[in-house]
Structure formats: C-alpha cells, structure tokens
Structure 1
Amino acid sequence: MLSCSSSAFQRVAFMLMAPKLKPQRLHQIAETGVEQLVKKARTMSTESSMKDAFSTYADYLNNFNEKRERVVKASRDITMNSKKVIFQVHRLSKDNKEEVLEKAGKDLEAVRDQHFARLMRELQGTDFWKLRRAYSPGVQEYVEAATFYKFCLSGTLCTLDEINTTLVPLSDPSLEPLQINILDYILGLADLTGELMRMAIGRISDGEIEFAQRICQFVRQIHRELMLVVPKMDDSYDMKSKMEVMLQSVIKIENACFSVHVRGSEYIPLLGDDAPTSYLLGAADVE
C-alpha cells in the first residue's frame, strides 16, 4: 500500500516539475515550421527555374553551334567555287575573251544561286553578326570574284550596291534582305588587287601592254582611295595588313610597266590627277 502510494506520488511530482510550454512559445514554434516549409518550397521552385533556364540555354548553344558549322560549310563552298571563277577568268586572252567570260559569268551565277543562297537561308532571321567570323572569308572571296569578273568584262568596278542588288532575290520577301556589309566588300576589294597584279604581269608577257596599263591605272586608283578610308576605320587590323600587300602589288605592276615602256627614261606615272571618276563604291573622286 505504501509502495503504491509512493509510486503515485513520484509520478505526480514529476509532472509538476516538468517545464510548461507557454502559449506564446507554441505560436512561435508553429510559425517557424510554416516558414521552413515556405522556404523549402521557394528553394525547390528556384532550383527548378534554374534547371529550366540552364536547359534552355544549353539547347540554344547546341543549336547555335550546329548553325555555325553549317555556316562555315557554306562559306567554304563559296570560297572554293569563287576561286574557280577567278581561275577561269585568269585564262582570259585576246583570242578567247568571249568564251572565257561567258563561262565565268555562268559559274559566278551558280555560286550565287546555290551556295550563297544556302548561306543566306542559314543567316535569315538570326543574329547573323554573331557569325560574321564564320562566313566573312567566303563573302570576301565572292566579292573578289565578282569584281574581278566585272573588270575583265567592262573595265569598271562592280560596286557594293550592284552586288547587293543581285542578292535581294535570294532573301525571304517577308523579312529584311541580308546585304554584304562595307567592311567585307573592302576586304574583298583589297584581295582583288593581287589578282589584277598577276593578270597584268601575264598580259605583259603576252604583249598586251595597253591592257596592263589599264590594270595599273585601276589598281592605283583603288589603292589611293583606300588610303583615305582605312585610317578612319574603327576595326581595321585586317585591312591594314592587306593594304601593305596591296601596295606591293601596285609596285610590282608599276615596275613591270616601267621596264617595258620607259626603260632608260625618266619614269612617268601611269595614273594622272585627271582621273574622271572614282572606282570605289561609285563615289565621286576625292582629291
């Protein structure tokens, strides 16, 4: 009996001595639990959003890299086939002029309608400026081929507007047409002078002195005008290096013509100050 009473007394004493939780404390515990649940939900939501954003960006990079590979392939095809046009024009002589230029014209048209059209389809509706390094070499080679062909056909320079006019039908009519920018045009024009130098040396060897003189005059005019343009360009590293090569081409043509015409005489420049018009971009002559 005593034992039972003692045991009951101990249980009561233990209950009385146990700390009591105040209502305010219970309220704080409840609030803390809710905050943890909300925080956990927000963390899960943030992680999910980050995963979705990363997945979207990864898909964009994959698509962009695939597009870049296709653009590089199109640019290489343009380069290769434009070089074929240039080689075709180099076969030109006074005996086969019509035949060679007709074939070169058809080849140039094929480059435009097949390979250049494919490049423009890849670039249409995109941030094409991000891919400029991928397609610029092909565009420059096409400009070089088009201007080389035009000079041998008519003795004039194919301007930027004329080239872009031929590209308008290749663009989607519902979108703004893609055009060759002036930097790629000028870079291609600088390469043109090297091909004209080779042609001038060849024409002198064949006895076509007057044609070589026309080439010399034409190349010096281009070099003179680009000397005014290049220093004002913001990003002209490539152009400055090509200007040095262009000057060497001018000197080679002048020396070749000099050795033929004025050997033993005082050198007289082949290009005077009375050139009637400017070859570059169809602009007025700059004195």
Structure 2
Amino acid sequence: MFYAGVFQKLSVVAPKPKPFHLHQLTETTRQSVAKRPRTMTTDSSLKDAFSKYADYLNDLNDKRERVVKASRDITMNSKKVIFQVHRIGKSNKDEVLEKAERDLEAVRGQHVSRLVKQLQGTDFWKLRRAYSPGIQEYVEAATFCKFCRTGTLLDLDEINAALLPLSDPSIEPLQINILDYLLGLADLTGELMRLAIGRISDGDLEFAMEICRFVRNIHRELTLLVPDMDDSIDMKTKMDTMLQSVMKIENACCSVHVRGSEYIPFLGSSDPSYSSMGVPDIDL
C-alpha cells in the first residue's frame, strides 16, 4: 500500500515524455548536412585532362568559325567564275575562258589556300560539314572550265594535285574526298543544262549536242555508282535534279532537230551545212 502511494505521487510529479516525430529527425539531419562544407576530391591528372579537353573544344570551335568563313568566300568567288563561263559564245570562247581560268586560279590561291592552312594538322572529317559547300562549288567551277576548254571531265586526282602546292609538305595535305567531288559534279550538270539552252538560243546546236552527250554519260555512270555508296541524302536529291537537267537538254535538242525549220532565224538558212529543215542530221 505504501509503494502504491509513492508510485502515484511520482506519476503526478514526473513530467510526461514528449512524443518524438520523424520529421524532427529529418530536419536535424538536413541542417547538420547543410552546415558541413562540400568538398570534391579530384585527382590532379583528371583536372588537367578536363582542362586540356576544354581548351581543345574551344580551339575547335574557333577553327570551325574560320573554316566556315573561308568556305563562304570560296563559294562566292567560285560562283563568279561560273557566271563568267556562261558568257561564252562562238566568237569570244578563248577570251571568256582565259578570264575564267585566271579567276579560278585566284580562288585557289587566295581562298582555298586559306582553308588548307586552317585544316592542316586537323582531322578533316571533324570539320567537313563546315567546308563542304565551298569545296563543292569549287569543284563545280573547276570542272565547268575544263569541259568548256577541252570537252573532257576534270577528275578528282587532277583537282587534288592542284591543291598539293598549297599545303605544307611536312603535314598531311587537304584532299577533297570522293563524296564532295560527286556532289560538285552533280551541280555541274545543272550549269551545263543552262549553258546548252543558251547555246541553242544562239544557234550553236553542235556545242549543245556535245553538252547533251556529256551530261547523259555523267548521269549514267553515277546511276551505277550511287547505289553502292553509303547512304547520302544529298546525293540522292541531286541525282533527281540531275535527271531533270538531262531531260531538259534532250528535249531542247530534240525540239530543234525535229522542228528545225522554226529555228532558221537563229541558225541561218543561208548556211549550206544545214539541211532543208534548218539543222544538220545529228544523232541524239
């Protein structure tokens, strides 16, 4: 009875323990973690590797900007060469081509050489998208001049041989790859189509027929080659455009051949080399 009374008094005097909640433990842990400073232990060699890689990316981005600028200059000046060649006629062929060839040499010496210097010591494939448009336009201008001068195709080895003097012999030289060459060659057919239409309008049917045979041969060879190439959306698109150029040249030449009497004011009916229909017999 005595102990019961004592326990009863203690229960009245002693304070009841406060309930403990889980969120209090979470809050305490969060505050203690927040007070501790965060430190990252990184090996010095890893830091140096990150630093070097960052510098490499910065240099590559700067170089890409310079390569893009050089490619734009090549494109712009190569187009000027192409426009110059389109001025060709029966009486001014040598004069026009000499001027175009000098301009093309200036493009190679001033702008292509600047591109070559930027790409020396670099993996060319990393920046190919940056300089490919300019290279394609240069290939188009160079092959355009060669065909109008000799009636033959300027191949890839000849183009790359002309670029070798621009490179440092101790460093791997820039060489145009086969895809950029073929893309430029596909664009060439469009310029030849425009030239052929212009030559027909001036009465130079023989030259137009030469262009027609040349463009047809290019299209036939590429039709056999492109399916075996790696997947290239640009090449497939240009093949469709090339076919349209071939058809336009063939239709223009065929119209002149079949309806030649309507072209007598252009071709000249007094020329004894022409038949009674106004044009000679030419196999299409």
Give the TM interval when normalised to the shorter protein: 0.7 to 0.9
Question: Counterpart of 1:212?
Answer: 208
In structure 1, what residue type is equivalent to 2:111? H
Q: 2:197 matched to 1:164?
A: no
Select the residue among 171, 180, 186 that pairs with 1:184: 180
State the TM-score, normalizing by the size of structure 1.
0.76
Separation (CA, whole Å) in 1 of partners of 2:53 and 2:170: 28
Cα deviation for residue 44 of structure 1 reads 3.4
Q: Does 1:44 align with 2:41?
A: yes
Offset at 1:178?
1.9
**Structure 2: tracts of 5 or more residues without a match:** 1-39, 261-276
Q: Is the 8 A contact 2:116 2:173 kept in 1?
A: no
TM-fit CA distance, 1:110: 0.5
Q: Distance in 1 between matches of 2:195 and 2:172?
A: 38
Please give the residue correspondences for 1:92-241 in structure 2 after superposition, counting only pairs within 5 Å.
92-241=88-237
Runs (5+) with no aligned partner, structure 1: 1-42, 272-287
How many Å separate the matches in 1 of 2:250 and 2:154?
Answer: 23
- Residue equivalent to 1:16: none
What is the distance in 1 between the residues matched to 2:66 and 2:172?
21
User: Kindly, what percent of the aligned residue pairs are identical?
Assistant: 77
1:47-66 to 2 correspondences below 5 Å: 48-66=44-62
- Per the TM alignment, residue 241 of structure 1 is displaced from its structure 2 partner at its CA by 0.5
Give the deviation of 1:56 after TM superposition: 1.7
Higher deviation after alignment, 57-66 or 138-147: 57-66
1:142 aligned partner, one-letter code: Y
Gap change, CA 1:102 and 1:67, over 3 Å in 2: same
**Could you list the runs of 4 or more consecutive aligned residues of structure 1 that deviate by over 4 angstroms after TM superposition?**
268-271
1:3-82 to structure 2, matched below 5 A, reads 44-46=41-43, 48-82=44-78
Shift of the alpha carbon at 1:258? Answer: 0.7
CA positional deviation for 1:269: 9.5
Q: What does residue 239 of structure 2 align with?
A: 243
The letter of the residue matching 2:210 is R
Task: Tell me the SS of whatever aligns to 2:88.
Answer: coil
| 3-state DSSP of counterpart to 1:44 | coil
Give deviations 1:14-68, integer Å, cap 9, x for gaps. xxxxxxxxxxxxxxxxxxxxxxxxxxxxx6352x444332222211111100000
Q: Which TM-score applies when normalising by structure 2? A: 0.76
The 3 A distance-change label for structure 1 pair 237 and 270 is: farther
Report the equivalent of 1:19.
none
Note the alpha carbon deviations across 1:180-207, whole angstroms, 9 max, x for none.
Answer: 1111100000000000000000000001
Q: What is the total number of aligned residue pairs between the two structures?
A: 227
- 1:157 alignment partner, SS class: coil
User: Closer, same or farther in 2 for the Cα pair 1:269/1:181, shift >3 Å?
Assistant: farther
Deviation by residue 1:239-278 (Cα, 9 ceiling, x = unmatched): 110000000000000000011002499xx9955xxxxxxx
Matched residue type, 1:128: F
Shift of 1:152: 0.5
Instruction: State the distance in 2 between where 1:69 and 1:219 align.
Output: 36
**Retained in 2: the 8 A contact 1:196–1:219?**
yes
Q: Is the 8 A contact 1:146 1:158 kept in 2?
A: yes
How far, CA to CA, are the matches of 1:86 and 1:211 in structure 2? 18
TM-superposed deviation, 1:98: 1.2
SS at match of 2:215: helix
Q: Deviations over 1:207-266 (max 9, x none)?
A: 10000000000000000000000000013211110000000000000000011002499x
Question: 2:167 and 2:91 mapped to 1: Cα distance?
Answer: 39
Please identify, of 61-70 and 50-59, the stretch whose mean Cα deviation from structure 2 is larger: 50-59
**CA–CA separation in structure 1 for the residues paired with 2:237 and 2:85:** 26
CA distance in 1, matches of 2:74, 2:128: 14
